[in-house]
Amino acid sequence: MTTRILTGTCKHIFRFRPFRICNDNAGLRVNTDSVLLGAWTPAGNPARILDAGTGNGLLALMAACKYPDATVDAVDIASRALALARLNMDMNPALARRIRLFRTDLKMFQPDHLYDMIISNPPYFDGTPPPDDLRRTARQAGESFIRALFELAGRHLSRDGKLYLLWPAGRRHELLDTGYRNRLFPAAEIVLRDHPQANVKRSLWEWTPRLGRHYRREELILFRPDGQRTGAFDRLVKNWYLS
The DSSP secondary structure of 70-88, one letter per residue, reads -EEEEEES-HHHHHHHHHH
The pLDDT of residue 137 is 44
pLDDT at residue 126 tops 90: no
Query: How do 216-221 and 99-103 pair as beta strands?
Result: unpaired
The mean per-residue pLDDT over the stretch 170-179 comes to: 94
Residue 216 pairs in a beta bridge with 188
Mean pLDDT over the full length of the chain: 89
Q: Which helix (H) or strand (E) segment is 142 a member of?
A: helix 133-156
**Fold (topology level) of 31-237:** Rossmann fold (3.40.50)
In which band, very low, low, confident or very high, does the pLDDT at 8 lie, cut at 50, 70 and 90?
A: low
Ranges of each domain in the chain: 31-237
132 pLDDT exceeds 80?
Answer: no
- Region 177-185 average pLDDT: 96
**Phi and psi (nearest 5°) for 221?**
-95, 130
What's the CA angle centered on 172, arms 169 and 177, to 5 degrees?
A: 165
